[in-house]
């Protein structure tokens, strides 16, 4: 059993971890343990009680100054309880201050996994060993109820958390902060690993020691953002890739977020995670509920690599719903970097013909096919096919592409509107603009108010009309700016703080409707590349455009950071032209191909401008990817060397889970005169088995799994700048 209740003690077990909490004699729900799997011992004996001075005492502890919520480990701390640390809930029940104080009310358990209305969440299928625990807390005076939800995924060492708040007080309640999870650690000697970045440089891994005070990460941009990612790791100091304890926290949400880790006065650490609360203010009317996004917590006692592989497998099986997760993704060519806005039907068909010759599977038509859209100053919102530009209907273009043996995909940016558009002229009130004030523009465009039902219905209508007009198998859903001055005309002044969250709910509603109508559609997420690469988006899109930076060498760091918290099959990666259009770097075509094979593989260049030798090399790359796609898509991923630590080369590996085969890729990132030799070692093989090993298709010989994992293989000398190689090991 994953959930064991013994009186006031709640113990949650996964395969390798245990999570525990207890209702104390005051009725407060305390957190007692999270770590390596153990028994049902009551670990509250480890909590120290003392008069800490200047720490408030709740009424239930009157006369006992050794009892204060200011230092006790709690499951769901609230502001105004005498606890001065970061909290999970700020709730004004009518006095104008945050005066909520929660005590245990009841609980229930059941087989299966809870769901969250209107929000993405992990799910269980029939027969999965998944259980749910619900704990109900209540304010000591008023009828405000807080339901804590726990989903226990035993096989994946994952525990999910969410919160539902119900107002039965008979009056309005103001919520200004709702975090989805809290975890109190007794040990201050912890590191946090987070993934910062920028446009064209997302998810750069950084490890830092937690200090006394608050370490804070957040996105106030209305999306999970390029700058920070809603996934963090808390690790013991000695934890590395292959050993040590660590915990991963992933917010299943695509809007702004907030993470705080506070080391307190007695060297305890508290981590809270949830929605961005920078300008959040939600009016909860009598009888209404508010549901917070889900957080997935994952434990590993076998290092950062073990943590990542648990997350990859858990998300693959229980978060990504698309039928495409079990199919080979199409090897596609996207026309954006080949043509930008300058194309017509003939140009697109020429690219498609070249793609068919090279055994690609799909042509994706990017920005510029609709409305008056020859640059990024106009046309967004006018989702009507520009047949004059194409020289034919979308149905005719799609049919011609399908006749070549390719399928057809299309780019959309539904959430945006251009001021130079028929839609804006008809409905200026649909844009997020404060009346009487100049808007904040991004990429020369405004944002549609997705909290409005009329906007949501318009987008559904236009998307459905386009989809029904042609044979479209794939959509790239883009968003090319952040939210600023998020204002909604339909909300009064006191409710504008609800808009950003309601925007995300509107986005999810449109995506849900699209996939319900077209269940076999391959949806790819995008926000200027990786600006919305989060677990919430994976619920709808099994792959996400990882970055607008298509340079293979910079992608090494982006892929490395992404791999900690997301399955690599979700990483959309393309081979682009050289010199690269983002940084001018010249990289061998071979290396660009090897780097892009880390994820959902494709091309982003004009295939017709390649030399005959390059076209032949593309054929080899496509053949290699298709031959080994099961390994790349479903194999365990190992980070063999870090591009942040090893300046000479970066290496990664995919290994079959039964140890039958593995592919280890290496990209050289620096050259030296008279270079030292380097050895790479395989992971995930069976030491007793024998393997035939090749390098770049040329046989190297037969080796035992023990030899490949313990001795390794000698790397060849690089022959040119940014050279690369691939080792393939197959069970004999």
* Active centre residues (catalytic): 534, 614
Q: For residue 441, is the peptide bond before it cis, meaning its omega torsion is within 30 degrees of 0?
A: no
Taking the C-alpha atoms of residue 653 and residue 683, their distance in angstroms, rounded to an integer, is 8
Residue 284 corresponds to which tokens in the numbers above?
């909860």
d(CA 51, CA 143): 32
* Cα atoms found within 13 Å of the Cα of residue 235, Cβ hemisphere only: 28
Q: Residue 84, class by beta-carbon neighbours within 10 Å (0-12 exposed, 13-18 middle, 19+ buried)?
A: middle
Q: Do the bridges between strand 130-139 and strand 102-111 make them parallel or antiparallel, or are there none, so unpaired?
A: antiparallel
Provide the token pair at 50.
């003392």
Q: What are phi and psi of 310, to 5 degrees?
A: -65, -45
Residues paired with residue 653 on neighbouring β-strands, in sequence order: 638, 664
CA 44, CA 24: separation in Å to the nearest integer?
Answer: 9
- 318 burial class (0-12, 13-18, 19+ CB within 10 angstroms)? buried
Cβ atoms of 158 and 297 within 8 Å: the answer is yes
Answer yes or no: are the C-beta atoms of 333 and 360 closer than 8 Å: yes
Strands (E), 276-377: 282-284, 289-291, 294-300, 332-334, 362-365
Secondary structure (3-state) at 511 = helix
**Token pair in block for residue 412:** 């959309």
**DSSP three-state, residue 197:** coil
- What b/e readout covers 323-351, taking b as 16+ CB neighbours within 10 angstroms? ebbeeebbbbbbbbbbbeeebebebbbeb
Dist CA 296 CA 322 (whole Å): 19
Which positions ≥6 away from 248 have C-beta within 8 Å?
231, 232, 233, 296, 297, 298, 300, 307, 308, 311, 564, 565
CA separation, residue 663 to residues 6, 318, 331, 594, 727 (Å)? 48, 26, 19, 11, 6
End-to-end C-alpha distance for the chain, whole angstroms: 40
For 637, phi then psi, to 5°, come to: -105, 130
Tell me what percent of the chain is helix, strand and coil, each rounded to the nearest 5.
Answer: 25, 35, 45
Instruction: With beta carbons less than 8 A apart as the criterion, state whether 722 and 669 touch.
Output: yes
Report residue 263 CA to chain centroid gap.
Answer: 27
CA 586 to chain centroid, in Å, comes to: 30
- What is 64-101 written as a DSSP string? -TT--TTTS-BSS-BTTSS--S--SEEEE-SSSS----
Strand, helix or coil at 422?
helix
Task: Report whether 136 contacts 525 (CB < 8 A).
Answer: no
């Amino acid at each position: 059993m994953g959930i064991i209740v013994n009186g006031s003690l709640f113990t949650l077990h996964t395969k390798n971890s245990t999570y525990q909490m207890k209702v104390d004699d005051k009725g407060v729900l305390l957190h007692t343990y999270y770590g390596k799997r153990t028994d049902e011992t009551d670990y509250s004996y480890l909590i120290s009680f003392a008069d800490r001075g200047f720490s408030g005492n709740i009424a239930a502890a009157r006369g006992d100054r050794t009892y204060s919520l200011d230092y006790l480990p709690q499951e769901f701390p609230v502001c105004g309880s005498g606890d001065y640390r970061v909290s999970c809930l700020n709730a004004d029940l009518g006095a104008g201050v945050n005066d909520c104080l929660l005590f245990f009310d009841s609980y229930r358990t059941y087989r299966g996994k809870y769901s969250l209305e209107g929000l993405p969440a992990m799910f269980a299928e029939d027969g999965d060993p998944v259980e749910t625990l619900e704990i109900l807390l209540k304010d000591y005076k008023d009828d405000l109820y807080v339901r804590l939800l726990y989903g226990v995924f035993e096989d994946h060492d994952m525990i999910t958390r969410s919160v539902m708040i119900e107002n039965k007080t008979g009056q309005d309640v103001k919520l200004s902060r709702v975090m989805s999870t809290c975890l109190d650690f007794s040990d201050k000697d912890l590191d946090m690993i987070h993934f910062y970045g920028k446009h064209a440089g997302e998810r750069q891994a950084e490890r830092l020691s937690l200090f006394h005070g608050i370490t804070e990460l957040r996105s106030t941009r209305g999306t999970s953002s390029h700058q920070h990612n809603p996934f963090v790791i808390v690790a013991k100091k000695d934890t590395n890739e292959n050993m040590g304890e660590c915990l991963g926290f992933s917010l299943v949400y695509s809007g702004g977020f907030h993470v705080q880790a506070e080391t307190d006065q007695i060297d305890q650490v508290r981590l809270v995670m949830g929605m961005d609360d920078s300008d959040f203010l939600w009016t909860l009317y009598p009888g209404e509920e508010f549901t917070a996004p889900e957080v997935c917590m994952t434990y590993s006692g076998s290092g950062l690599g073990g943590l990542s592989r648990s997350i990859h497998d858990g998300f693959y099986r229980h978060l990504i719903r698309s039928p495409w997760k079990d199919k080979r993704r199409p090897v596609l060519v996207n026309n954006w970097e080949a043509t930008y806005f300058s194309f017509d039907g003939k140009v697109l068909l020429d690219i498609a013909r070249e793609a068919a010759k090279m055994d690609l599977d799909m042509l994706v038509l990017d920005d510029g096919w609709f409305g008056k859209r020859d640059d990024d100053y106009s046309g967004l919102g006018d989702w009507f096919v520009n047949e004059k530009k194409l020289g034919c209907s979308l149905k005719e273009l799609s049919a011609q592409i399908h006749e070549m043996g390719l399928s057809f995909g299309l780019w959309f940016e539904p959430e945006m509107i251009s001021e130079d558009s028929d839609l804006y002229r008809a409905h200026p009130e649909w844009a997020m603009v404060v009346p009487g004030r100049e808007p904040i523009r991004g990429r020369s465009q405004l944002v549609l108010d997705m909290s409005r039902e009329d906007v949501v219905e318009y987008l559904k209508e236009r998307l459905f009309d386009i989809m029904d007009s042609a044979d479209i198998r794939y959509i790239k859903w883009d968003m090319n700016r952040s939210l600023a001055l998020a204002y909604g005309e339909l909300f009064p002044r006191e409710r504008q703080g609800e808009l950003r969250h309601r925007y995300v709910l509107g986005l999810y509603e449109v995506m849900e409707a699209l996939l319900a109508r077209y269940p076999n559609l391959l949806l790819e997420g995008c926000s200027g590349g990786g600006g919305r690469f989060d677990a919430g988006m994976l619920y709808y899109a099994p792959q996400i455009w990882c970055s607008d930076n298509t340079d293979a060498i910079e992608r090494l760091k982006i892929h490395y950071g992404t791999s900690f918290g997301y399955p690599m099959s979700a990483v959309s990666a393309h081979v682009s032209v050289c010199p690269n259009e983002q940084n001018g770097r010249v990289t061998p075509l071979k290396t660009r191909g090897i780097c892009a094979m880390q994820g959902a593989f494709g091309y982003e260049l004009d295939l017709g401008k390649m030399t005959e030798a390059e076209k032949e090399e593309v054929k080899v790359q496509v053949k290699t990817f298709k031959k080994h796609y099961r390994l790349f898509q479903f194999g365990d991923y190992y980070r063999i060397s870090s591009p942040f630590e090893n300046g000479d080369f970066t290496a990664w590996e995919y290994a079959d889970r039964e140890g039958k085969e593995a592919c280890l890729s290496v990209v050289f990132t620096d050259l030296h005169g008279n270079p030292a030799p380097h050895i790479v070692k395989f992971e995930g093989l069976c030491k007793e088995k024998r393997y035939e090993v090749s390098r770049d298709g040329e046989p190297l010989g037969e080796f035992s799994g023990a030899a490949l994992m313990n001795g390794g293989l000698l790397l060849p000398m690089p022959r040119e700048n940014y050279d690369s190689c691939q080792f393939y090991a197959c069970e004999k």
